[in-house]
Structure 1
Amino acid sequence: MTNKMPPRNKSTLTTAALLLSAFTSLASAAYQWPSQPYDDLEDFIYSGQRPDGSSMSSLVASCKLRGTTNTTVAAEWTRFVYHDTSTHNITDGTGGLDGSLFFELDRVENVGAGMTNTRSDFSSFPSKYISRSDITVIGTIFAVAACGGPAMQVRGGRIDTNVAGPYGVPNASDTSESIVATFAHQGFNISEMIQLVACGHTLGGVRYPDFPDVVAAPSDTSETVVDLFDDTQQFDHNIVTNYLDGTTRDPLIVLNQTMASDLKVFSQDPTNATLQAMSSADTFSSTCVSIFDKMFNTVPNGVNLTDYIELQPVKVGNVQLTLGDSNLEFQAAVRVSTVSDNTNISMYWCDKYGSSADCAGGLKRYASPVSSTTVGSTVASAMGVTLEKYQFVVPIDADQGINKFWFDINYGNGTTAVADNNGAYYPVAQDEVLWVPSMSIAKSATSTNGSWFIVAAVKSSSASDISGLHIDCIGRATADYIAVNATYDLALNNTMPSKLGYDFYSVATTANFGVTMQFDIVAEASNGTQWIDGDRQAGLISITLPAASGVNTTTSKSVGGSGESAAWSWRHTSAGWLVGVILVVVAAL
């Protein structure tokens, strides 16, 4: 990790316009943290990684090739999403993007190493709020962006099935009439069928040994040969222009005519009007965004998708209050769409208890970040946006606690802003029950049951009022792709001495939750009150945090920001601020 900011993107006008759009969108949407599943979806889409830092976006970045073959990871991921969609039945509303493809790879219609490669790529990334089918869609937008295509916004909330769906992918040997009927069954008319095939086949090609009737066997039949659809590996309109000018190399057009499925599809429009409308780079891109959006939203009846997930210019995450050696310890990260090489950020907070509770008398505590790192998915890169993630780790006196926090952003050029959750500030909901990752134990890499040892701290003063203490666990990144849910009661651990006014409770899980586990710790009082330390990531147990930073105090007339400075709040975004941002970008590039 580094404290040095990355160079600015070369496209001044594009970046400025994107920032203007992002800030305006934030104001209109009135986003407030926390907001699940939006929070996890947004961070994964634009940061490209799990909370533990494992990156899915990096698997496809720079339009990388798959091993020693001449096809790309992006092509395999893009094929995968259509094959999952293909089970949809427009008549009765069943099937579609529901993750059933994970259970269908033994079918001839889903033949190929690319399919099994993709399933393996995606398998460790589903989580509590991001389903397998959401991962499949997000993987596709990572793939398109990685190969020079447009940055696409998508929705979340798809619901996975745990069984195979009906057959649905057309075979290359099918008749034209059969192919048209199959796409119609899925909900795509002839023009949409042509668009979908063109947009899907701008990447990749046909592989031997998967399709020996199309691609001739090499002299060494143990080798893999991929005959590409067009003359580039990029997401571009060459698949269209090569067809229209008669120079196409598409093996599903020019080789075995019985297997010429792309020719059968494109020939359904004898005037080529659909392809002519896609024959420029801009129209190809916009058409693909539209038809992919329809495909992404092809889900079973009764599935309610989220709104489109937009990039938040300031995004809080990794928030946790826990016990340290001699104090409580609070950590938080804030991800910022940076616009200056000289950006500095401070985190401010109010006490929860004592004479300065809720910043009484104007007393605020603040600290600097302990580290920063540049993050970003291929989608963020395609948008021309640089994201910097600042991590804060601060000691908290148990007698003072922490009630709420916010961030003061100084861009180093006279422009400042306050990120305060649209005026609501970022709340620290409770400190009665806390997860203690430093005392918990990660499952062994060789464990057969996926056991995690989880330790929770409960305030000693509240212990007598608590009638129940349990954890609700979920693991979605499992070997058989089926989510595992389980609940465990925690028991007082007498081997762990009380400290800082907290007693310790523990439990060892027994279910196999897969790569990682997410859980909520729930304490129930006899009067019906609940305290929840929620959305915890067991995968963070093994991650060592940087040393806590020093804490400073200040007083001011107002709660937010840095004293008397004229710091704009994100909730007070104005035309002047937006113009200032754009000018900063222009000056910095």
Structure 2
Amino acid sequence: MIPRRRTFAALLCGVGLATAADYKYGSQPYDALEEFIYEGTRPDGSSLTDLIRSCKLRGGTNTSVAAEWVRLVYHDTATHNIADGSGGLDGSIFFEVDREENNGSGMKNTLSDFSSFPSKYISRADIIAIGTVFAVAACGGPVIPIRGGRIDSNVAGPYGVPNVTDTTEHFVDTFAKQGFNVSEMIQLVACGHTLGGVRFPDFPDLVPQGTDANAQVVQLFDTTQQFDVNIVTEYLDGSTRDPLVVNNASAASDLRVFSADGNATIKGMATPEAFFSQCTTIFDKMLNTVPSSVTLTDYIELQPIKVSNPQLTLNDDTLQFEVAVRLQLLTNTTSVQLYWCDRYGENENCGGSLKRLAAPASTSTVSSPISSTMGVTLKKYQFVVPIAQSQGIAKFWFVVDHGNGTTTVADNDGAFYTVDQDDVLWVPSMSMAKPVLGSGGWFIVAAVKSGSSPSRVYIDCFGRATSDYLPVNATYDLALNNSHISRSGYDFYSVTTTHDFGATMQFDLVAVKGDGSSSMDSYRQAGFISVSLPDATTVNTTTSGDVGGQSSAPGWRMPNISLLAAVWAGAIVAIACL
């Protein structure tokens, strides 16, 4: 059984949070969210992390990508009305960018950055929230705790962002309507304005045109492009360059906000520790400001071991099993092997203790701004193994050798990881992206066991990363494809989708039998069509040891966790213990 520990939050305040210790494999949307938050990529490898890594600037400009992402999240949240529970962080900003309150190329740039990453289990609003915590961490800030489960609005929300020329009273009233008191208003503006600045030509009344009339000019809020306390200390010592303080008295909105309580709150943010702590708390509140009808997930914690994308498929004339496992490394000499039991034959379910095993086909290090800031090393091991049709595969697990005399058996807390069926399988190697009538289509091929005579084979498809931001859900029936000769005990069925599912498409593949029962190959990612896998590795057998079992490792989570990870856990404690 995988070694388990209670998390910092549960240890310190005794509340019943759903934590890593409560996690069970196959929990959606938790699985999809956890992988994206800590690895920073879609399952097909497309990376949100690369767009923000090292607090990068956009193109050849002095524009902070992180600042644009953080501006967007508040503008989406600003639709919230605490009185009736409507609005908030719900993705409606995708339908509001033509408003004056959302002017500027930064908004459109950010929508473009985020547009290809929503999926069946991760909404546009979740991507906005994740992008915010990535932006903060990538620019040297704290790790903001994050939940998932936001529900997208597919229409514009009400106006909600105050104008730079508004009075102090109007700012206070506007933020109060959104659910923020005066101190929280000040914290939110200060924490948001530690990144970026004001740009010409977006705000020509605040930032003058440069010598090149076509060039962007950015006047920064403070002297750095990092997430730091300078926005506060420079305001307090009179050296600020913040254009919303010094440029135009009628548009000095930061000055009016910061001084709304006689500078009491801003003075309380004047140390790096206080600034990080208060920004963590107020950003957490902002990210969780959602319509009252929405129930968010628990905080998404890093799993020390994470199994992803298990798939049994056909490769040429052979069944092939593919799976990846990601580990939080405790030592630099860690090695991993995949073990499994046959589904059929004399060794069914490891009868006679015979088990099959293989080494990984490839390894890679993965990270996001969150996992990097936490100081953890995450390594992913990709397994690709041939499976004899007469043997099949029923369940699998991993044995991790830490190279220091200890091993961990990762077997889903004794429940094992299972391959539930082999009656119907998606075949990525025979499928392809196939534009249809100018829209994005997919040619999907399924392998169905010969002789099963299904009454129906169909795919239930979902796409959220569409050009018009509206989700698409459609079902297609597959037909027997006689152009593909039956092999390895399987017949082939196919269909070409005609809806535009956008950048990604997820689908469930179902074969219905004559008796009404069905088999499903679930949550398949069309993006894997373009992913090249390493060659399959050699399969060995052993009769030594038990199937699964206890680990001799002292624990996964506590070694190699940095102070910043403890700060993140402390933030969760503070929130959970309120």
* Aligned mates of 2:253, 2:77 — CA distance in 1: 18
Per-residue deviation, 1:219: 2.6
Hey, what does 1:448 align to over in structure 2? 438
Hey, what does 2:359 align to over in structure 1? 368
* Aligned mates of 2:136, 2:345 — CA distance in 1: 54
Correspondence for 2:447 among 446, 451, 457: 457
Contact 1:74–1:203 (8 Å) recurs in 2: yes
Counterpart mapping for 1:61-76 below 5 A: 61-76=53-68
Distance 1:382 1:509, change over 3 A: same
Per-residue deviation, 1:340: 1.8
* Aligned mates of 1:557, 1:67 — CA distance in 2: 56
Hey, what does 2:109 align to over in structure 1? 117
Per-residue deviation, 1:525: 2.6
Contact 2:7–2:20 (8 Å) recurs in 1: no
Per-residue deviation, 1:581: 4.7
Hey, what does 2:569 align to over in structure 1? none
Correspondence for 2:129 among 100, 120, 137: 137
* Aligned mates of 1:577, 1:306 — CA distance in 2: 26
Contact 1:30–1:422 (8 Å) recurs in 2: no
Secondary structure in 1 aligned to 2:303? coil
Counterpart mapping for 1:10-159 below 5 A: 29-159=21-151
Secondary structure in 2 aligned to 1:206? strand
Amino acid at match of 2:420: A
* Aligned mates of 1:501, 1:217 — CA distance in 2: 70
Secondary structure in 1 aligned to 2:455? strand
Secondary structure in 2 aligned to 1:408? strand
Correspondence for 1:310 among 296, 301, 305: 301
* Aligned mates of 2:442, 2:178 — CA distance in 1: 43
Hey, what does 1:481 align to over in structure 2? 469
Percent identity reads 63
Correspondence for 1:491 among 479, 497, 507: 479
Alpha-carbon displacement from aligned partner over 1:97-118 (angstroms, at most 9, x marks no partner): 1111111111110011111110
Distance 1:423 1:453, change over 3 A: same
* Aligned mates of 2:557, 2:204 — CA distance in 1: 59
TM-score (norm 1): 0.91
* Aligned mates of 2:131, 2:225 — CA distance in 1: 17
Hey, what does 1:556 align to over in structure 2? 544
Amino acid at match of 1:61: R
Question: Unmatched 5+ residue regions in structure 1?
Answer: 1-17, 584-589
* Aligned mates of 2:56, 2:211 — CA distance in 1: 26
* Aligned mates of 2:9, 2:120 — CA distance in 1: 27
* Corresponding position: 1:334 with 2:322: no
Distance 1:307 1:26, change over 3 A: closer
Hey, what does 2:573 align to over in structure 1? none
Per-residue deviation, 1:23: 12
* Aligned mates of 2:355, 2:98 — CA distance in 1: 61
Per-residue deviation, 1:244: 1.6
Alpha-carbon displacement from aligned partner over 1:39-73 (angstroms, at most 9, x marks no partner): 11000000000011110011001011112222310
Amino acid at match of 2:495: V
Greater Cα offset, 28-37 or 113-122: 28-37
* Aligned mates of 1:226, 1:334 — CA distance in 2: 44
Counterpart mapping for 1:524-539 below 5 A: 524-539=512-527
Per-residue deviation, 1:264: 1.0
Contact 2:427–2:445 (8 Å) recurs in 1: yes
Correspondence for 2:429 among 434, 438, 443: 438
Correspondence for 2:401 among 393, 396, 410: 410
* Aligned mates of 2:390, 2:105 — CA distance in 1: 59
Per-residue deviation, 1:144: 0.4
Counterpart mapping for 1:153-232 below 5 A: 153-232=145-224
Per-residue deviation, 1:545: 1.4
* Aligned mates of 1:339, 1:549 — CA distance in 2: 25
* Corresponding position: 1:356 with 2:344: no
Per-residue deviation, 1:530: 2.3
Correspondence for 2:388 among 387, 393, 397: 397
Amino acid at match of 2:498: T
Contact 2:509–2:522 (8 Å) recurs in 1: yes
Secondary structure in 2 aligned to 1:148? coil
Per-residue deviation, 1:163: 1.2
Correspondence for 2:501 among 513, 516, 519: 513
Secondary structure in 2 aligned to 1:150? coil
Distance 1:548 1:23, change over 3 A: farther
Counterpart mapping for 1:375-386 below 5 A: 375-386=366-377
Secondary structure in 1 aligned to 2:430? coil
Indicate the RMSD between aligned Cα atoms, in angstroms: 2.1
Question: Unmatched 5+ residue regions in structure 2?
Answer: 12-16, 562-578
Distance 1:231 1:416, change over 3 A: same
* Aligned mates of 1:199, 1:436 — CA distance in 2: 48
Contact 2:424–2:446 (8 Å) recurs in 1: yes
Amino acid at match of 1:372: T
* Aligned mates of 2:108, 2:404 — CA distance in 1: 51
Contact 1:328–1:397 (8 Å) recurs in 2: yes
* Aligned mates of 1:224, 1:506 — CA distance in 2: 51
Contact 1:372–1:389 (8 Å) recurs in 2: yes
* Aligned mates of 1:523, 1:116 — CA distance in 2: 42
Distance 1:260 1:449, change over 3 A: same
Secondary structure in 2 aligned to 1:76? helix
* Aligned mates of 1:22, 1:500 — CA distance in 2: 51
Per-residue deviation, 1:119: 0.6
Hey, what does 2:572 align to over in structure 1? none
Hey, what does 1:3 align to over in structure 2? none
Amino acid at match of 1:407: F
Secondary structure in 1 aligned to 2:428? coil
* Aligned mates of 2:234, 2:212 — CA distance in 1: 31
Amino acid at match of 1:532: M
Secondary structure in 2 aligned to 1:109? helix
Alpha-carbon displacement from aligned partner over 1:502-535 (angstroms, at most 9, x marks no partner): 1111111000111121100012234332211011
* Aligned mates of 1:157, 1:477 — CA distance in 2: 17
Per-residue deviation, 1:217: 1.8
Contact 1:20–1:578 (8 Å) recurs in 2: no
* Aligned mates of 2:18, 2:310 — CA distance in 1: 21
Distance 1:311 1:221, change over 3 A: same
